[in-house]
Amino acid sequence: MDEIITTTNNEIAMRKAIDVELAVRLATDGLTSQNSKRAYGQAVIGYLSFLEENNAPMNKATVNAYKQYLRGRNLSPSTINLKLAAIRKLAAEMVDNATIDPMVANGIKNTKGIRAGGRRSGNWLTIESAQELLLLPDTRTLAGKRDRAILAVMVGCGLRRSEVASLTIDKIQLRDARWVLIDITGKGNKIRTVPMPVWAKVAIDDWLAASGIKDGRLFRAINKRGRLSGKRDTGKGISGGDMSDQAIANVVAKYARKLGANLAAHDLRRTFAKLAYRNGAGLDQIQLTLGHASIKTTENYLGVEQDLTTAPCDYISLRVK
């Protein structure tokens, strides 16, 4: 860092003037996705901490140094590029608020990201493991019934954890003689209808019958006594008993540990897509269910260009013993 820290008094003053809370607000204002807001906020906090630790100004050189620091932590290109995007947005907003020199901000804007080589396949469950996962919750308890319903919706409908957290009972409706989740709002405020398998509806009905919930958010927090916390969505965001998307992720993590699987919440969405595709579902229908903008996105998501079931190596008949 030494070669890039030749600071002027003005740069030092500017750095000290960067209020972390304000910076996070500037970088996240205008974002509609709660996941994006959280990711951008964490990225900004991380960058400002890096500046503080290295007594460095905010400029292109320190953004590049931060990029190399992130690479040294073996973060994926997509993760690093997301963090850089948040820093670029912060710089642009600071120009609009006259808290950074436009020339400095322009330099930050021109900072190049990391080029990704290849594509990560991610994790997903086999049909046998998915079945085992659904049977793990102890449905003799209220929490177990809720957790089974959460897992069933994620594996059976391919929802994001934020979509599961915000799901309301009125979204569950009959269409063309089948149960669906209507008007699910995903990334970019895209609205879609998601078909629901019968077994997911059974899990939901079991949870609703046991909890007594009639309206509002479908999934609620449960206290240490094994009862609903009593509070619900007020129309102004999460309040009391409503589960956050992180709480949904925690449920998945809990049963992933029991299953002995390396599994995150998003991997259940990928599991839905993989299992549906392998059992004959059309790419166009999977695309519509997931809410992808194009078939190509769904193909990339599924990795359909690479067959891991019947792979090229299977055609090489050799042995080692």
pLDDT tens column, 99-133:
888 899 899 988 888 876 544 556 888 899 999 99
The pLDDT of residue 36: 82
- Say if CB 182 and CB 196 are below 8 A apart: no
pLDDT category at 220 given cuts 50, 70, 90 is: very high
The residue type of 314 is: D
Do 149 and 86 lie in a common domain?
no
Contacts within 8 Å (CB) and 24+ apart, 179-186: 181/157, 184/159, 184/291, 186/160, 186/291
Q: Do 62 and 190 fall within a single domain? A: no
pLDDT score of 174 more than 80: yes
Domain boundary among 260, 275, 290: 275
Residue 165: both structure tokens together: 């957290």
CATH number at residue 32: 1.10.150.130
Residues 212 and 98 occupy one common structural domain: no
Sheet holding 172-175, edge to edge: 172-175, 178-185, 191-195
Q: Is the pLDDT of residue 262 over 80?
A: yes
Express the helix, strand and coil content of the chain in percent, nearest 5 each: 55, 5, 35
pLDDT at position 320 is 57
Separation of alpha carbons 244 and 219, rounded Å:
9
Domain around 51: 2-109
- 14 with 41, same domain: the answer is yes
**pLDDT greater than 60 at residue 14:** no
Sign of CA dihedral 24, 27, 31, 35: negative
Return the CATH number at 229: 1.10.443.10
The DSSP code sequence of 129-166 is HHHHHHT-S-TTSHHHHHHHHHHHHHHHH---HHHHHT
Residue 27 and residue 247: Cα distance in Å, rounded? 25
Is pLDDT above 70 for 134?
yes
Task: Specify whether 98 is located in the same domain as 192.
Answer: no
Q: Tell whether the model's pLDDT for residue 278 goes beyond 60.
A: yes
- Give the position of tokens 């990334």: 187
Whether 209 and 249 map to the same domain: the answer is yes
Cβ-contact 83, 70 below 8 angstroms: yes
Is the same domain home to 135 and 215? Answer: yes
Mean pLDDT of the region 214-218: 91
Instruction: Give the integer Cα–Cα distance in Å for 89 and 15.
Output: 17
Mean pLDDT, rounded, of the chain: 83
Q: What pLDDT shows up at residue 7?
A: 42
Which tokens hold the place of 141? Answer: 């308890």
- How many Cβ atoms sit within 10 Å of the Cβ of residue 232? 18
Answer whether 195's CB lies under 8 Å from 180's CB: yes
| Whether residue 169 is found in the same domain as residue 43 | no
Total structural domains within the chain: 2
Angle in degrees, CA 302, 307, 310, rounded to 5: 145
Give per-residue pLDDT as tens, 39-65. Answer: 899 999 999 999 989 988 899 999 999
Do 72 and 204 share a structural domain? no
Stretch 9-34: mean pLDDT, rounded?
69
- Using one digit for the tens of pLDDT, what is the confidence trace for 230-256? 654 455 443 448 888 899 999 999 999
Counted residue by residue, the chain has a size of 321
Q: Which residue has the tokens 């969405």?
A: 269
293 is a domain residue: no
Measured from the Cβ of residue 256, the count of other Cβ atoms closer than 10 Å reads 20
Q: What is the pLDDT of residue 299?
A: 80
pLDDT-derived band at 15 (thresholds 50, 70, 90) equals very low
Q: Is residue 114 part of a domain?
A: no
Helix (H, G, I), strand (E, B) or coil at 198: helix
Q: Which of 273, 148, 265 is nearest to 205 (CA)?
A: 148
Contacts of 279 (CB under 8 A, 6+ apart): none
DSSP string, 41-99: HHHHHHHHHHHHHHT--SSHHHHHHHHHHHHHTT--HHHHHHHHHHHHHHHHHHHHTT-
Binned at pLDDT 50, 70 and 90, residue 291 comes out as: confident
Q: Kindly tell me if the per-residue pLDDT of 258 is higher than 90.
A: yes
pLDDT single digits (tens) 60-106: 999 999 999 998 888 878 788 889 999 999 998 888 888 888 899 89
Phi/psi of residue 181, nearest 5 degrees? -105, 115
